[in-house]
Amino acid sequence: MAKGRDLKPHIGIFGRRNNGKSSLINLITNQEVAIVSDSPGTTTDPVKKSLEISGIGPAIIVDTAGIDDTGELGEKRIKKTYDAIKTIDCAILVITQNKFGSFEKELIKQFRDYSIPYFIVHNKADIEPLEALTIEKIKDFSQAEVLDFSVFGKTNADELIVLLKKTIPETTYQKPSLLGGVIKPNGVILLVTPIDSAAPDGRMILPQVMSIRDVLDNDNICIVLKETHLQQYFDQHSPEPQLVITDSQAFDFVNKIVPAHIPLTSFSIVFARLKGDFEQYMQGTPTLSELNDGDKILILESCSHHVSCEDIGRQKLPAWISKFSGKQLEFDVVAGLSDIPEINNYKMVIQCGGCVVTRKQLLNRLRPAVDANIAVSNYGMSIAWINGIFDRVIAPFKNIAHND
């Protein structure tokens, strides 16, 4: 499963083998998306499918392998099923034949650990309806709503969608503003976008594109230029911007040109406010001044990409941190949402902007470090600290309510 490459809300389907998870997905999507078979264990790796849900919009359905799989291969499938929990925004737990036991309870524990809202579907009700005793067993362990359902019976798929919309947090499908509360209407917002060998050919990166749209949505004039034209902009007495947003890599250059009274920040920091743990980043970033010889730093990239000599996460950032600290440091880089090494081995974790993952995925990615009291930061804040302008670039976001 190509995890973490879609910003739509992720809805996971979980349960034992042969509980009708795949049939349920086919009903929801109104397509033959998942392979349906009477043989247990048909679904192996988690499989994703895009769909449009009325009232929610675009979403991703994640079909997972049965949690009661057996054998060596089955154990690997189960691990991938549990790994998928970290990437979803809402879960549907499918049971049948009034079976609610240790498998289901362990899944629910995982949902709770990762703060995943969920509900329970008792499937194949046309064969065996939900019993009062089963409801009591569930209620003794969980407060989740339970729907007695059949893909082939009289129950309507609309009931399932209504319950899904009731369960999934609105924040997962609403489109929050990148700059809401930061900028006022009818002003000029200046976007400084360096173009180097690491920039994608012929296009803008996602944070830049989203920033352009958000500036316009907030009824402002958006001006986009390269850093080489920044001085020219101010020399020509152009309209003074109420905010300048630049690539973090250009902080040192841009900071020297933009007058001190004009707010300055970066695309990465804007995304840190939108998706990351902004408060934890603010608390953790100063650790860059407390590093010692032999400390290990974990760099987390959200996407997998070709590595160039100007790669920010693998080349530039480690070099800048090493030079700034004057210490002999070790760096590990993990891309995508792949497994990370033992978190307690690290002094610090630095996350990229996270433009290609959901907020839930990014927060769950950082959670082990936060729980272990290991300092976390993000690219933009780390670069700002190294350049001595940390206070300036976070100033636009102070005293503004951040996303929950």
Segment (H or E) for 62: strand 57-63
As a three-state string, the secondary structure of 85-111 is: HCCCCEEEEEECCCCCCHHHHHHHHHH
| Complete DSSP assignment for 114-180 | TT--EEEEE--TTTSPPPHHHHHHHHHH----EEE--SSSS--HHHHHHHHHHHS-GGGTS---SST
Q: Is residue 15 pLDDT above 50, yes or no?
A: yes
Segment (H or E) for 189: strand 188-192
Q: Is residue 213 pLDDT above 80, yes or no?
A: yes
The structural domains of the chain, ordered by start, are 10-172 (3.40.50.300), 188-270+390-397 (3.40.50.11420), 279-386 (3.40.50.11410)
User: Which of 145-154, 192-201, 232-241, 274-283 comes out lowest in average pLDDT?
Assistant: 192-201
Work out the mean pLDDT of the chain and round it to a whole number.
Answer: 86
Instruction: Report pLDDT digits (tens) over 254-296.
Output: 999 999 999 999 998 998 888 888 999 999 999 999 999 999 9
Q: Using CA atoms, how far apart are residues 99 and 68, in angstroms rounded to an integer?
A: 12
Count the Cβ atoms, other than its own, within 10 Å of residue 115: 11
Q: Single out the residue of 322, 370, 378, 323 nearest to residue 346, CA to CA.
A: 370
For position 197, what pLDDT does the model report? 57
Q: Which residue has the higher pLDDT, 260 or 197?
A: 260
For position 339, what pLDDT does the model report? 77
Mean pLDDT of 214-224: 96
Assess contact for 362 and 351: CB atoms under 8 A: yes
Query: Helix, strand, coil proportions of the chain in percent (round to 5)?
Result: 40, 15, 45
For position 399, what pLDDT does the model report? 61
For position 96, what pLDDT does the model report? 95
Instruction: Report pLDDT digits (tens) over 308-360.
Output: 446 788 889 999 999 999 999 999 999 876 778 899 999 999 998 887 788 88
Residues with Cβ within 8 Å of 70's Cβ and at least 6 positions away in sequence, in order, are none
Q: Is residue 35 pLDDT above 50, yes or no?
A: no
Q: Which residue has the higher pLDDT, 388 or 303?
A: 388
Mean pLDDT of 5-10: 71
Assess contact for 114 and 85: CB atoms under 8 A: yes
Q: Is residue 299 pLDDT above 60, yes or no?
A: yes
Assess contact for 13 and 117: CB atoms under 8 A: no
For position 196, what pLDDT does the model report? 65
| Complete DSSP assignment for 9-43 | -EEEEEESTTSSHHHHHHHHHTS--S---SSTT--
For position 402, what pLDDT does the model report? 47
Q: Using CA atoms, how far apart are residues 322 and 250, in angstroms rounded to an integer?
A: 18
Q: Single out the residue of 312, 315, 387, 322 nearest to residue 348, CA to CA.
A: 322
Mean pLDDT of 361-388: 93
- Residues facing 102 on adjacent strands: none
Mean pLDDT of 364-370: 91
Q: Using CA atoms, how far apart are residues 228 and 187, in angstroms rounded to an integer?
A: 23
User: Which of 202-206, 298-302, 324-328 comes out lowest in average pLDDT?
Assistant: 202-206
Grade residue 374 by pLDDT with cuts at 50, 70 and 90: very high
Instruction: Report pLDDT digits (tens) over 45-77.
Output: 577 888 888 778 888 899 998 999 888 888 888
Q: At residue 24, what are phi and psi to the nearest 5 degrees?
A: -65, -45
Q: Single out the residue of 183, 170, 288 nearest to residue 242, CA to CA.
A: 183
Q: Using CA atoms, how far apart are residues 325 and 94, in angstroms rounded to an integer?
A: 52
Q: At residue 190, what are phi and psi to the nearest 5 degrees?
A: -105, 125
For position 201, what pLDDT does the model report? 67
For position 91, what pLDDT does the model report? 95
For position 32, what pLDDT does the model report? 57
For position 200, what pLDDT does the model report? 60
Q: Single out the residue of 268, 244, 238, 267 nearest to residue 256, CA to CA.
A: 244
For position 31, what pLDDT does the model report? 57
The pair of structure tokens assigned to 111 is: 């949902």
For position 328, what pLDDT does the model report? 96
Grade residue 4 by pLDDT with cuts at 50, 70 and 90: very low
The pair of structure tokens assigned to 61 is: 């359905």
Residue 196 is classified by DSSP as -
